[in-house]
Amino acid sequence: MIKEAKIALEDGTILKGEAFGYETTNVGEVVFSTGMTGYTESLTDPSFKGEILMSTYPLEGNYGVDEDWYQSDKIQTEGFIVRELCRQPSCFGADKSLNEFLKEFEIPGISGIDTRALTLKIREFGSMKGALTTENMVDDELLKLAREQPNIQDIDLVPKVSTKEIKEYGEDMDLNVALIDCGVKKNIIQGFLDKGMGVTLFPYDTPSDKIMDYDPNGLMVSCGPGNPERNLKTIDTIQKLSNKLPIFGICMGQQVIAKSFGAKIFKMKFGHRGANQPVKDLETGNVFITSQNHGFSVDADSLKDTPLNLTQVNLNDGTPEGFSHDELVLRCVQYHPEAGPGPNDTRFIYDEFKEMMNTY
């Protein structure tokens, strides 16, 4: 028999639906993603740590789950909100259902929610703190949990998802990228390997001299969850290595690199999450459709007082999507060129970074 589940928002909204996944209660910031596919990749994306994810696409679970699609070794979200759950998937490659997937990693889910109405609420009032339960809990207690949790900008989330030890991939390749792991996706690492570049993965707080001991050809700073301004150790490492190596940043990587050069960061109203964000390159005029997942952004006006040059913007709201440096060999983008899920319009950026390392 299907049990009742509830989601409470800090503004007092309480929505009831059907429970799936694990029987538990979790809190987090409620956000929405507009991807039509890729729920496995999104749920396992470390950038969603601390967040209860809602899909705007109405049917989830219809093609099941396969471990080859994981972007980390587990589900990273605190919960999953859907309009309709498919409990009997149909896909030759799937080895488990979405319901079984959430149970395996002890994550609660709720279906039967008017996700369109909830998305419109978040678009109007911004992302909100929430609490999701698949247990028997009174409304007042659930609402108290939603309201009393700390704001996501005040939580150190990167230490919860970063690797705890140094790992090497593609050791026999001619070029080696030192990758600072703030919450890296598997597709990012695979993107380098596919282009003939090896990767040494470092914890987010690795000192600069330890990274240089591995004699890398370039430095890459990954995506990750939460507030980039709290990632002070990574910012310090970037400041010490920025004139020693070519630098590449994706998502949070762009934000902490910008911060290391004096730019400002702000929390967005509801962020960019999905696989259909349009980005315009200011140098070529080309427009790309990109995959994104972030709730913070670089303040474009603050770039004017730095050596950073805006190169790409989001066509929906004008926020910075890429920048370069006056003198240093540096390239940053806010979106995910590796996709997973999403389009492959910008995978050429891996080739550009490889060329930057070859000519450095």
> What residues act catalytically?
251, 336, 338
Cα gap 48→53, rounded to integer Å: 8
> Are the CB atoms for 83 and 114 separated by under 8 Å?
yes
CA distances for 256 relative to 76, 99, 222, 277, angstroms: 21, 36, 10, 21
3-state secondary structure of 224: coil
Output the 3-class SS for 274-306.
EEEEEEEECCCCCEEEEEEEEEEEECHHHHHHC
- Distance CA(86)–CA(90), nearest Å, equals 9
341 prior amide bond cis, ω within 30 = yes
Tokens found for residue 43: 């749920």
| C-alpha to C-alpha distances, 335 to 201, 241, 322, 323, nearest whole angstrom | 20, 23, 8, 12
Separation CA 268–CA 29 (nearest Å): 13
Instruction: Provide the residue count of the chain.
Output: 360
Query: What does the block give as tokens for 296?
Result: 């913070």
Residue 112 to residue 58: CA distance in whole angstroms = 10
* CA angle in degrees (0–180, nearest 5) for 313-318-319: 75
Instruction: Estimate the share of the chain in helix, then strand, then coil, as percent rounded to the nearest 5.
Output: 30, 35, 40
DSSP-derived secondary structure letter, 22: -
Buried b (16+ CB within 10 A) or exposed e, 249-275: bbbbbbbbbbbbbebbbeeeebbbbbb
Distance of CA 336 to the CA centre of its chain: 9
